């Protein structure tokens, strides 16, 4: 992975996001999921962050249902997708979305 490629991905995320600032944790989660699909628990262990913080970082990049406001929340840049894990497992597995795969492939970072 070249630094140029990483800088290109960061530039795409920065210019297409209306948020004033993305957290470093959000970007770390994005790159870990780009490596391979992961659960919130796995991401928490890899980053050393609490699962609530990791979940918030994931939600910056994926569509989700806000129960409190009864509204569908869509990110500026939908790079991640959450899929429920099959029973009896609980929670979600986080994947790169089609757009996420396209961003990483366009920048020259091979997606596996």
**CA 5/CA 45 separation, integer angstroms:** 26
Residue 79 belongs to some domain of the structure: yes
What is the pLDDT, as a whole number, of residue 84? Answer: 84
Residue 70: which CATH number?
1.10.10.10
What is the pLDDT, as a whole number, of residue 14? Answer: 75
Per residue in 57-77, pLDDT tens?
898 899 888 888 899 988 888
Let me know: does 111 contact 16? Beta carbons within 8 Å: no
Residue 52 belongs to some domain of the structure: yes
Residue 112 belongs to some domain of the structure: no
What is the pLDDT, as a whole number, of residue 19? Answer: 64
Residue 14 belongs to some domain of the structure: yes
Neighbouring C-alpha atoms within 13 Å toward the C-beta of 107? 23
**CA 86/CA 83 separation, integer angstroms:** 9
Residue 100 belongs to some domain of the structure: yes
Range of the domain at 62: 3-106
What is the pLDDT, as a whole number, of residue 42? Answer: 94
pTM value? 0.81
Within the chain, which residues score under 70 in pLDDT? 1, 3, 19-21, 110-112
What is the pLDDT, as a whole number, of residue 58? Answer: 92
Domain count, the chain: 1
Residue 15 belongs to some domain of the structure: yes
Let me know: does 57 contact 76? Beta carbons within 8 Å: no
**CA 53/CA 47 separation, integer angstroms:** 10
What is the pLDDT, as a whole number, of residue 112? Answer: 47
What is the pLDDT, as a whole number, of residue 64? Answer: 86
Residue 32 belongs to some domain of the structure: yes
Residue 68 belongs to some domain of the structure: yes
Max distance between CA atoms of the chain, in angstroms, equals 42
């Amino acid at each position: 992975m070249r630094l140029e490629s990483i800088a290109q991905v960061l530039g795409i995320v920065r210019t297409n996001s209306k948020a004033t600032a993305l957290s470093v944790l959000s970007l770390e989660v994005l790159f870990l999921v780009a490596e391979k699909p992961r659960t919130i628990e796995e991401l928490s262990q890899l980053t050393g962050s609490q699962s609530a913080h990791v979940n918030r970082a994931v939600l910056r990049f994926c569509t989700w249902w806000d129960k409190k406001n009864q509204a569908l929340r869509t990110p500026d840049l939908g790079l991640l997708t959450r899929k429920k894990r099959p029973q009896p497992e609980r929670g979600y597995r986080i994947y790169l979305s089609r757009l996420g795969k396209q961003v990483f492939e366009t920048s020259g970072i091979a997606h596996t």
